[in-house]
C-alpha cells in the first residue's frame, strides 16, 4: 500500500494528542444509558414479527431495492409507508430518505440557493451543516436558542437580500437535550417572512408525533425532518412539508436521486413501528416520561443540578470538562455495568465535554438509581 498523504498522518496524530481520536467499538453487554433507542423498539420482537408478516402478505421476497427510487427501487411499500408517516405527523406530504443524514444533505443542498440566506442555531446537527456547505446560499449562525440574537440578524441581513430567508433549528438538540421556544420561533418566522425548518429527530416517538405536531404548529412550519432510527427503532427518515416541496425534492435532492433505495424490510419495519407506537407502544412512551421525571428528581435530591444541562427530554448531559477526564468517567461507569458514552471536543466545545445519558422506557428505577450512585462517586 502506498504512503498516506502527510496531512492525514498529522491530523490523526493531532487527534491522538488531544485525546479525541475516534474508534469503532463493539457495544458490550452493559445497561443501556447510551443508545437513541428510547422506547426499546429496535429490540422489539413484536415489531420484527409484524415487519416479516407485511413482507409475506405482500409477497415481497427481496433482500434489496435494486436501484434508486427514480429507477427500480420505489417498491410497493413506499407509498403506504409515506401515507402513514404524513398522516401520523399531520403533514401534507412525506418523502422518505435512507437516513436523517441523507435527508438533511438532500434538503439543504437543494432548497436554499444562490441569493438566499440561512440562519441556523450554532448547535445544529452536523448533517445540516454538511447540507448547508453544499448549498449556494449564504449561511450565518445565531446563538443557541437565542431568539433575540436571531431577530437582530434577520433584521440586519435581510436588507437588500434578493432571495429568501431560511431559519433552522431542532425541536430537541441531540447533544444538549434542550428545546427552543418553538411558538415564539414560529411567530418570528411569520413576522419576518422567513421559512422555518425544524429537525425533530430526537422528538419523534418521545414526544408523540414530534413537538411541532403536538403543539399544533405543523401548518406554520415550512419543513420538518423526522427520523426512524431513534425512538422508532428502524432506519430511514422523512422530510415533511407541502406536496410541491416533495415534488421539488424528488427532482433536485441528489442524496435521494443518486442513492439505492431502502430495502423492503426497512419499509416494513417503519410501518410496523408506527403501528406499535399507536397501539401498545403508547405505554412505553408513558414509561419513558416516568423515567425522565424520576431521573430528574433523583439528580435534584442529590444536588447534582449544577453539573447537568437543563433538559425535559430523554437526553441528559453531565458536564465534565476535559477529554481525558470524561473518558475516564465513562470507563469507570462501564466497569460498574453502565453504558454511558463520553462526548468529546471537537464534537462539543472544548471545556464542555460531557457524559451523555440517554434514558429509555426499559430502564428500571433500580438501574437509574445505580447510575446516579455511580455518578455520585465521580462528582
Query: Is 233 within the bounds of a domain?
Result: yes
Residues 267 and 150 grouped into a single domain:
yes
Residue with cell 422506547: 39
Query: Is 296 within the bounds of a domain?
Result: yes
Evaluate whether 119 touches 144 at the Cβ level (below 8 Å).
no
Residue 26: is its pLDDT beyond 80? no
Check residue 160 and give its pLDDT. 85
Residues 68 and 148 grouped into a single domain:
yes
CA distance 316 to 319: 10
Q: Lowest-pLDDT range, 13-22, 98-107, 215-224, 344-353?
A: 13-22
Check residue 217 and give its pLDDT. 98
CA distance 300 to 310: 11
pLDDT in tens, 277-300: 999 999 999 999 999 999 999 999
Check residue 20 and give its pLDDT. 81
pLDDT in tens, 112-149: 999 999 999 999 999 999 999 999 999 999 999 999 99
Residues 72 and 38 grouped into a single domain:
no
Residue 212: is its pLDDT beyond 70? yes
Residues 164 and 270 grouped into a single domain:
yes
User: What percent of the chain clears pLDDT 90, i.e. is strictly above it?
Assistant: 88
Choosing from 277, 299, 329, the residue where a domain stops is: 277
CA distance 320 to 317: 9
In our burial notation (b when 16+ CB lie closer than 10 A, e otherwise), range 51-84 reads: beebbeeeebeeeebeeebeeebbbebbeebbeb
Query: Which residues, 6 or more positions from 168, have their beta carbon under 8 angstroms from its beta carbon?
Result: 118, 119, 120, 121, 124, 128, 197, 198, 199
CA distances from 209 to 86, 109, 285, 343 (A): 10, 26, 11, 28
Residue 1: is its pLDDT beyond 60? no
Residue 328 maps to which CATH number?
A: 3.90.1150.10
Check residue 379 and give its pLDDT. 83
Check residue 286 and give its pLDDT. 97
Domain range for 356 is 29-42+282-378
CA dihedral (340, 356, 304, 321) positive or negative = positive
Residue 2: is its pLDDT beyond 80? no
CA dihedral (65, 67, 69, 70) positive or negative = negative
How many structural domains comprise the chain?
2
Residues 66 and 214 grouped into a single domain:
yes
Closest CA to 265 of 41, 54, 79, 36: 54
Residues 266 and 286 grouped into a single domain:
no
What is the pLDDT of the chain when averaged over all its residues?
Answer: 95
Evaluate whether 264 touches 77 at the Cβ level (below 8 Å).
yes
Residue 255: is its pLDDT beyond 80? yes
CA 156 to chain centre: 30
Choosing from 231, 259, 277, the residue where a domain stops is: 277
Residues 273 and 289 grouped into a single domain:
no
What is the edge-to-edge ordering of all strands in the sheet holding 315-319?
A: 315-319, 354-358, 341-343
Geometric angle at alpha carbon 191, from 187 and 197, rounded to 5°:
60
Q: In terms of pLDDT, which residue wins out, 139 or 378?
A: 139
Residue 109 maps to which CATH number?
A: 3.40.640.10
Residue 102: is its pLDDT beyond 80? yes
Choosing from 242, 262, 277, the residue where a domain stops is: 277
Provide mean pLDDT across the span 346-362: 94
Provide mean pLDDT across the span 100-121: 98
Query: Is 21 within the bounds of a domain?
Result: no
Provide mean pLDDT across the span 234-246: 98
pLDDT in tens, 50-60: 999 999 999 99
Check residue 22 and give its pLDDT. 82
Provide mean pLDDT across the span 211-218: 97
Residues 146 and 211 grouped into a single domain:
yes
Residues 228 and 367 grouped into a single domain:
no
User: What percent of the chain clears pLDDT 70, i.e. is strictly above it?
Assistant: 99
pTM: 0.93
pLDDT band at 271 (very low <50, low <70, confident <90, very high): very high
Amino acid at each position: 500500500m502506498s504512503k498516506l498523504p502527510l496531512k492525514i498522518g498529522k491530523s490523526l496524530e493531532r487527534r491522538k494528542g488531544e485525546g479525541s481520536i475516534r474508534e469503532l467499538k463493539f457495544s458490550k453487554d452493559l445497561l443501556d444509558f447510551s443508545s437513541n433507542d428510547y422506547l426499546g423498539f429496535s429490540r422489539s420482537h413484536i415489531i420484527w414479527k409484524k415487519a416479516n408478516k407485511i413482507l409475506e402478505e405482500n409477497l415481497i421476497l427481496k433482500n434489496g431495492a435494486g436501484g434508486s427510487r427514480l429507477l427500480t427501487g420505489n417498491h410497493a411499500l413506499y407509498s403506504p409507508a409515506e401515507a402513514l408517516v404524513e398522516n401520523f405527523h399531520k403533514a401534507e406530504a412525506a418523502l422518505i430518505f435512507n437516513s436523517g443524514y441523507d435527508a438533511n444533505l438532500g434538503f439543504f443542498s437543494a432548497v436554499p440557493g444562490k441569493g438566499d440566506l440561512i440562519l441556523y442555531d450554532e448547535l445544529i446537527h452536523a448533517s445540516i451543516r454538511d447540507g448547508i456547505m453544499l448549498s449556494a446560499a449564504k449561511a450565518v449562525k445565531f446563538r443557541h436558542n437565542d431568539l433575540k440574537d436571531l431577530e437582530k440578524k434577520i433584521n440586519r441581513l435581510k436588507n437588500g437580500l434578493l432571495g429568501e430567508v431560511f431559519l433552522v433549528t431542532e425541536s430537541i438538540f441531540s447533544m444538549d437535550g434542550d428545546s427552543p421556544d418553538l411558538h415564539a420561533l414560529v411567530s418570528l418566522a411569520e413576522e419576518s417572512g422567513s421559512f422555518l425548518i425544524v429537525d425533530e429527530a430526537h422528538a419523534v416517538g418521545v414526544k408523540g408525533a414530534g413537538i411541532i405536531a403536538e403543539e399544533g404548529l405543523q401548518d406554520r412550519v415550512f419543513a420538518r425532518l423526522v427520523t426512524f432510527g431513534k425512538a422508532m427503532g428502524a432506519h430511514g427518515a422523512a422530510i415533511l412539508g407541502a406536496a410541491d416541496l416533495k415534488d421539488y425534492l424528488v427532482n433536485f435532492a441528489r442524496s435521494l436521486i443518486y442513492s439505492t433505495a431502502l430495502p423492503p424490510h426497512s419499509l416494513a419495519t417503519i410501518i410496523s413501528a408506527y403501528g406499535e407506537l399507536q397501539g401498545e407502544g403508547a405505554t412505553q412512551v408513558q414509561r419513558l416520561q416516568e423515567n425522565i421525571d424520576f431521573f430528574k428528581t433523583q439528580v435534584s435530591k442529590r444536588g447534582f443540578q449544577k453539573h447537568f444541562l437543563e433538559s425535559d427530554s430523554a437526553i441528559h448531559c453531565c458536564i465534565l470538562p476535559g477529554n481525558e477526564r470524561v473518558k475516564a468517567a465513562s470507563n469507570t461507569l462501564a466497569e460498574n455495568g453502565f453504558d454511558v458514552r463520553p462526548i468529546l471536543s471537537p464534537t462539543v466545545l472544548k471545556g464542555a465535554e460531557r457524559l451523555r445519558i440517554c434514558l429509555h422506557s426499559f430502564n428500571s428505577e433500580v438501574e437509574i438509581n445505580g447510575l446516579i450512585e455511580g455518578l455520585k462517586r465521580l462528582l
